[in-house]
A and B are shown apart, each in its own frame.
Chain A
Amino acid sequence: MTNKRLSRREFLRAAGLTAGAVALASCAAPPPAAPQQPQQPQPQQPTEAPQAGTKPLTFVWSPKAVNNPVFDVARRGAMDKAKELGITVEWVGPETADAQKQAELLDAAIARKVDGMGISCNDPDALKPVIDRAMDSGIPVITWDSDSPNSKRITFYSLDNEAAARKGAEIMVDLLKDSANKTYAILTGVPGAQNLEARIKAFREVADPAGLQWVATDPCYDDIQKGVEVVENRLTANPDLAGYFMAGAWPLFGDINAMPKFQEAAKRGMKTVAWDILESELRLLKQGLVHALIGQKFYGWGYDAVGILYDIVVNKKEYPPFVDTGFDLVTTPEQADVFLKKWETGNWRD
């Protein structure tokens, strides 16, 4: 009996210890190195400060995962906009891309009666009930980056994945127009992810009829290490590949020396069109190892989309179901420099 009680106490002590450690981890400070952004005149976004005396609005902004650098840029955009508008934005997302966990976190926000939510959905169907619950209880919801089209959300703020992928395919067709070898491969993240599938489908709809010859679509499950392995394996299987379409930037996050076969292929003339404009990708484009990048508006997912929700809540403005952010196309070293500067300064508003 005594033994039993003792072990329970020990268990509680351990539980307390673990809980303390978790709390510590979740309280970890954000990286200190981000310099203050230079104050810029703000482009045509709503900036009316809330009326004096009223409680400041609280929006919950939810990325698919907090372990992704592009969402960190979105977070900074959301926080910058919140400061300008004098509102509070809470950054609430699962640690990894997990639809169920995201839904749980958002349910808690609904219970707290926040004033609005902006969500990048991990899964269109899994998030639908939460979005509908929020809307039914009077909390306006918009989606950004990744949609839940059948939910009651007010609007979706994103680039048009298909239009951007079609443009990427046109560039690839052009890059390979003088090449006798027209084979190309596709790298994707998690098979079945809606945005990635849309990109792949649209890319092939343009590339294949134009004479390019698709070889394979390989998944890397959103993992940098796996991405590197898959690309190297693909270039072992098809050493003379003429083109590569990367529906995400995964293997390009790291040092290009981790992919000797890719480097070799690029030097003998393989063309690569890749999604996103991460710093490492921009440098590869400048080195001539990658040939076109399709940039999403990371900062706008926070900055512009918070402005849209504010417009809806405060100014009662109406928005269509889809607001196209457009996309940035980077094909020259000069264009790459423009975006490298943005990464360097953290100023994405120009």
Chain B
Amino acid sequence: MSTPVLAEKKSPEAEPTPALWRRVLQRPETSIIILLLLLGLVLAQSSEAFLTPSNLFNILRNNADIAIAALGVTLVIIAGGIDLSVGSTMAFSGLVAAMAVSLGGTTAYQLPSFGLPPAVAFALGVLAGALVGAINGFLVVKLRIVPFIATLGMLGVVRGIVVGLTSGQTVRNFPIEFTNLGQGFIGPVPVPVVFMVTLAVIVGLFLAFHVWGTYIYAIGGNETSALLTGLPVSRIKWLTYVLCGALAGVGGVLVVARLGVSAPTQALGYELYVIASAVIGGVSLAGGRGTVLGAVLGAVLIGVLNNALVLLRVESYWQQAFTGGIILLSALIDRLRQRRS
């Protein structure tokens, strides 16, 4: 996947143009690329199914929602915050879009459905996500609640609303124009992957070239300095939460379109995958550092891992330990890389 998303900001001092290998080592994505290559090599040796285009696109399609949500979380984390409510937001956006677009069902347990055009339903889903993000931003920026607690609270509130509205039931029966958003292809490329790449490019360009992108790094790097310099800290922080909610919303709606069902369990616990994607992609939880490419590669690594566990016949009882181990390995390579550079 080629992406012009670079945007890692470096401290201005030093650097009399270091050697190429050193520059490569300095990139935060290096560790994850090494790991992906190693894993790919092992998988290609052990299963001829791995390197087929259909399998690779399958992996990307299955994890596009996590990658898209990780883009938003990356913005929040770079600005020095955290959003634990992304999983719940994905479910809420998915439910809003599902109820908006559903043609009604055939069971006695059907939730309200409005049969709106897919584009409208999609927009409503994303708006619902942005609304959750706006509330998160309000709690953090205006009420000054620590982001961890504010978004942890919202994780519960939003999930509670989803479960409360549905009573545990699912929403289904969507028009094909809607399910195509998740199941369709443009040429050989699944539509969710097209969404993922497009959004990654946009967010990457925003971070790299828009002045607000620079502000986001500055605020995450040192909020007090940013404030003293006169940057619109509150507005920018709020913006990152709104964008994070909206991007989680896109991910949530795409999953509903792909699965053809909105369930109250959707994306339950996915905040961990989303945040892990960003962090193993080199986004620093301390703020001020990270790239969009890293976050997307993080999500891809999680997808490849899930694929690998099956292709390498890892016993199901051991799979979680295996996943956790690979994430630790990625962190370790990152640590070594930083020491070397």
Contacts and interface: CB of A to CB of B under 8 A. Distances in A.
A237 B43 CA distance: 11
B169 A232 contact: no
A239 B105 CA distance: 34
Contact of A68 (B105, B112, B156, B265): B265
B311 A237 contact: yes
A28 B163 CA distance: 9
Nearest to B310: A233
Contact of A22 (B54, B143, B157): B157
Nearest to A66: B168
Contacts of A229: 62, 306
Size class of the contact patch on chain B: 35 or more
Contact of A253 (B106, B108, B150, B170): B170
B206 to A, nearest CB: 28
B259 A233 contact: no
A32 interface: yes
A253 B111 contact: no
Candidate in B264, B268, B310, B317 with the most chain A CB atoms within 10 angstroms: B310
A261 B183 CA distance: 13
Candidate in A69, A73, A191 with the most chain B CB atoms within 10 angstroms: A69
B144 interface: yes
Contact of B261 (A13, A21, A224): A224
Interface residues of A, number: 66
B58 A218 contact: no
B307 A344 contact: no
B160 A25 contact: yes
Contacts of B310: 216, 218, 230, 233-234, 236-237
A45 interface: no
A343 B108 contact: yes
Given A11-B143, A236-B307, A258-B183, A34 B108 contact: yes
Interface in A59-83: 65-69, 71-73, 75
Contact of A223 (B54, B260, B268): B268
A252 to B, nearest CB: 10
A258 to B, nearest CB: 5
Contacts of A269: none
Interface string B152-170: 0100110111011111111
Nearest to B170: A69
A229 B105 CA distance: 25
A223 B313 contact: no
A95 B87 CA distance: 15
A53 interface: no
B139 A69 contact: no
Nearest to B318: A191
B237 interface: no
A66 B172 contact: no
B167 A31 contact: yes
B179 A345 contact: no
A31 B259 contact: no
A41 interface: no
Nearest to A253: B261
A11 B260 contact: no
Contacts of A224: 259, 261, 263, 265-266
B145 interface: yes
Contacts of B105: 279
B170 A344 contact: no
Nearest to A96: B268
B172 A232 contact: no
DSSP majority for the A interface? helix
Candidate in A33, A218, A255 with the most chain B CB atoms within 10 angstroms: A255
B54 to A, nearest CB: 8
Candidate in A73, A230, A236 with the most chain B CB atoms within 10 angstroms: A236
B258 interface: yes
B147 to A, nearest CB: 12
A26 B157 CA distance: 9
A185 to B, nearest CB: 10
B110 A31 contact: yes
A66 B159 CA distance: 12
A228 interface: yes
Given A72-B167, A188-B316, A222-B265, A232 B62 contact: yes
A218 B139 contact: no
Contacts of B26: none
Nearest to A185: B310
Nearest to B159: A95
Interface string B308-320: 0111010011010
Contact of B260 (A33, A216, A258): A258
Contact of A28 (B112, B143, B161, B309): B161
A267 to B, nearest CB: 16
A236 B311 contact: yes
A249 to B, nearest CB: 11
Interface in B249-303: 255, 258-261, 263-268
Interface of B: 47, 49, 54-55, 58, 62, 105-112, 139, 143-145, 150, 153, 156-157, 159-161, 163-170, 172, 174, 179, 182-183, 255, 258-261, 263-268, 306-307, 309-311, 313, 316-317, 319
Given A33-B110, A35-B108, A72-B167, 17 more contacts: A22-B157, A22-B160, A27-B164, A28-B164, A66-B167, A68-B168, A68-B265, A224-B261, A229-B62, A232-B62, A233-B58, A254-B172, A255-B259, A261-B58, A279-B107, A340-B106, A343-B107
11 contacts: A25-B164, A67-B166, A188-B316, A219-B319, A223-B265, A233-B58, A236-B54, A253-B261, A279-B105, A279-B107, A280-B172
| Nearest 5 Cβ contacts at the A-B interface | A255-B260, A346-B108, A28-B164, A25-B160, A254-B259
